[in-house]
A = this chain, B = another copy of it.
Amino acid sequence: MRLLFALVVSLLTALPASAGEAPRARDLGVPFNGVPGPLNAITDVAGVTVGQTTLIEDLADGRAVRTGVTAVLPRGGDTLQRPVFGAWFALNGNGEVTGTTWIEESGQLEGPLMLTNTHSVGVVRDATIAWRIRQGGPDASGYYWSLPVVAETWDGHLNDINGFHVKPEHVDAALAGASGGPVAEGNVGGGTGMVCYEFKCGIGTASRIVEVLGETYTVGVLVQANYGLRDELVIAGVPVGRRLREHRIYSEPDPNAAGTGSIIVVVATDAPLLPHQLKRVARRPALGVGRLGSIAHNGSGDIFVAFSTADGSLGRSDRLLTHHSLPNDVLDPLFGAAVEAVEEAVVNALVAARDMVGDQGRYAKAMPHEELIEVIARPEH
């Protein structure tokens, strides 16, 4: 058994790393609707920065660290000073996102949004508070306490999750390294050890540009995707999972590993939306994962957070605030953009991920690009 694993490991690690830039889903010819932003990433929303700490290390006794932290800062370096309006929704709540009770109550997201593995939510939460304290003074809302937003998916198939390998310094590094520009996808940050549709998966991102009432707005999405069964996967309407059934190379010593998992979706926009409107946006990822064939398994934490950077008035308690919002009647383009960007972000995560051997020799193979191209090009049922 162990020998077999070792063999597979060497086979997998022998695969050549992609030379140069990794292709993204649309580079492979996967068709998507809508118009992406310049980066086709959450960072197309002005001000949003992303930082990621990726932890990959082999320890004694077959234990392997395959995890990390992803930080999304709604306003980059200005995130603590100026909250954003926010909202959340759980399509299936087998997961943790701390801070949601205050998001719901306040209508605001008052700091960064952190993603990590299920068993490291606590350390990331407290470390985010410590980081905030080090920035000096009470946070923007004037309180002396913090209720950080930390989300998770479970990487226990590939990662030694019960080794608690995420440390405060990894949180600090993700926060300190956050920047605009292209966002690394696949086996990185909180997504390092994630698996979806029984393919290696992880972090993915995408964006859409829409026009509403004569103005141009951006909707950006970042996912930490770790859900779904192979047979369920549909891409661009094609039952890719069933067509690539023979490509199932996925170790399953753990009977609970398959069919479980979760997806965290972060939707950012610069469109002026109030919290109750962002709640509407936060439900749309359900339609995006619906297009991909998801049934939202019992074991899945399918939890979605949306925020808008448009409002610059938040964070003051000493005066009346002024806000803008789009009328409800014109929100459809934003709803559609959210659906489309979620769909593409997950496929981007699948395409960007690389084969990985992890804890106790368990492994997950990435989606083969050539075969994907082929089945997409020849759709059949």
Give A residues with C-beta under 8 Å from B.
31, 90-102, 104-108, 118-127, 129-130, 133, 138, 141-147, 150, 154, 156, 161-162, 164, 213, 215, 234, 236-239, 254, 256-257, 259-260, 272, 274-277, 280, 283-284, 286-291, 293-299, 301, 303, 316-332, 335-336, 339, 379-381
Contact (Cβ within 8 A) B31 A381: yes
CA of A236 to CA of B295 in the docked complex: distance in angstroms? Answer: 16
Find chain B residues with CB under 8 A from A286 CB. Answer: 91, 283, 286-287, 290
Which B residues are CB-close (under 8 A) to A322?
322-324
Separation of A299 and B327 alpha carbons in the complex (Å):
12
Residue pair A272, B320 in contact (C-beta under 8 Å): yes
Asked if A106 meets B328 with Cβ closer than 8 Å, knowing A90-B101, A256-B144, A274-B276, the reply is yes
Q: How far is the CB of A141 from chain B (nearest CB, A)?
A: 7
A-B contact pairs, 7 of them (CB 8 A): A94-B147, A119-B145, A119-B146, A122-B124, A122-B126, A141-B328, A323-B324
Chain B nearest CB: distance from A195 CB in Å? 14
Counting every copy of the chain, the complex holds 4
Chain B residues with CB under 8 Å of A124's CB are 122
Q: A332 touching B297 by the CB < 8 A rule?
A: yes
Enumerate chain B residues within 8 angstroms of A129, measured Cβ to Cβ: 119, 122, 162
CA distance in complex: A101, B154 (Å) = 16
Interface pair A90/B105, CB less than 8 Å apart: yes
Given contacts A90-B104, A141-B329, 15 further A-B contacts (CB under 8 A): A97-B101, A98-B121, A107-B276, A118-B145, A119-B145, A144-B256, A144-B257, A215-B320, A236-B237, A283-B296, A286-B290, A287-B289, A290-B291, A318-B327, A321-B325
What are the residues of chain B within 8 A of A283 when measuring CB–CB?
A: 91-92, 286, 296
A272 to B319, CA, bound (A): 12
Q: What is the bound-complex CA distance between A239 and B238, given in angstroms?
A: 11
B236 and A381 contacting across the interface, CB-CB below 8 Å: yes
Give the residue of B280, B323, B328 whose beta carbon is less than 8 angstroms from that of A325. Answer: B323
Assess whether B107 is in contact with A102, with CB atoms less than 8 Å apart. no
User: Please, which residues of chain B bring their CB within 8 A of the CB of A108?
Assistant: 328
Known: A336-B295, A379-B237. A121 touches B125 (CB 8 A): yes
